[in-house]
């Protein structure tokens, strides 16, 4: 996960019909328990999956799944995930809330539990929830990823690491096989980073033009806009050989 600066709310989420639905949700939630049992839950078929929302995801999240950092051609290829569940009994008032909508790969969306754990998760769009510092990322050979908390008293970080481990590595025979493709994609990028660093080291100081080209390739693959940024940056060869200015 990387920290994300979210832009302005897309105009489609200002639909007056959405506000009408939210007003009904507020009225329903204000009812006494007995009255609520006899009342119908407000429903809405207004879409939040609109072009301006997806375009904003492309700009803000670089067309990447916010959980796995897998990059897609564009956000149209991903699900829209609710950071906090929109289900009744949880947070239906957040169904159309811009700050609650996230681009997410379908597999990651399906793997994330519908019920939020006690303490919640780190939010990459909230500066205090610094997902780049509160989580220690480790990438082993063959695309196996590990996620550890910097501070074990940070419950949100603990929950987030458990979620990331589940999404990347699975928890049973079926999900371990299901997540194999993600590990394969990460492994391919891992090998590419190692190859590019070796190329750069081989020409460094001997061929300035090739050195500059090799440097540009490394900067691109480790960019915040590229796949699996935090995991790739955790590689020992990145930490050992690359200067800090290679990382944006």
The dihedral built from the CA positions of residue 66, 72, 73 and 77, taken in this order, carries a sign that is negative
What's the half-sphere exposure (Cβ side, CA atoms, 13 Å) at 166? 13
Please state whether beta strands 135-139 and 101-104 pair in parallel, antiparallel, or not at all (unpaired): unpaired
248 residues of the chain, pLDDT tens digit each = 999 999 999 999 999 999 999 999 999 888 888 888 888 888 888 999 999 999 999 999 999 999 999 999 999 999 999 999 876 667 888 999 999 999 999 999 999 998 889 999 999 999 999 999 999 999 987 889 999 999 999 999 999 999 999 999 999 999 999 999 999 999 999 999 999 999 999 999 999 999 999 999 999 999 999 999 999 999 999 999 999 999 99
Report which of 48, 31, 49, 51 is spatially closest to residue 39, judged by C-alpha positions. 31
Which parts of 155-207 fold into alpha helices (H)? 155-169, 173-178, 180-203
61 phi/psi in degrees, rounded to 5? -105, 5
């Amino acid at each position: 996960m990387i920290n994300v600066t979210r832009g302005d709310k897309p105009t489609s989420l200002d639909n007056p019909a959405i506000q009408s639905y939210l007003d009904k949700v507020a009225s329903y939630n204000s009812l006494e328990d007995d009255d609520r049992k006899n009342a119908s839950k407000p429903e809405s078929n207004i879409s939040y999956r609109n072009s301006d929302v997806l375009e904003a995801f492309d700009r803000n999240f670089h067309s990447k799944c916010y959980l796995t950092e897998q990059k897609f051609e564009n956000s149209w290829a991903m699900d829209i995930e609710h950071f906090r569940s929109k289900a009744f009994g949880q947070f239906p008032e957040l169904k159309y809330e811009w700050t609650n909508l996230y681009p997410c790969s379908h597999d990651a969306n399906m793997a994330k539990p519908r019920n939020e754990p006690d303490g919640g998760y780190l939010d990459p769009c909230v500066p205090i929830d610094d997902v780049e510092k509160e989580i220690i990322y480790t990438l082993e050979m063959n695309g196996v990823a590990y996620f550890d908390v910097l501070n074990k008293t940070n419950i949100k970080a603990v929950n987030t690491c458990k979620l990331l481990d589940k999404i990347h590595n699975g928890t049973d025979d079926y999900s371990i096989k299901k997540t194999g493709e993600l590990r394969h994609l990460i492994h391919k990028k891992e090998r590419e980073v190692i190859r590019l660093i070796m190329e750069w080291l081989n020409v460094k100081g001997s061929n300035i033009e090739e050195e500059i080209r090799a440097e540009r390739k490394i900067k691109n693959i480790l960019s915040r806009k590229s796949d699996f940024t935090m995991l790739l940056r955790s590689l020992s060869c990145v930490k050992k050989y690359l200067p800090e200015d290679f990382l944006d």
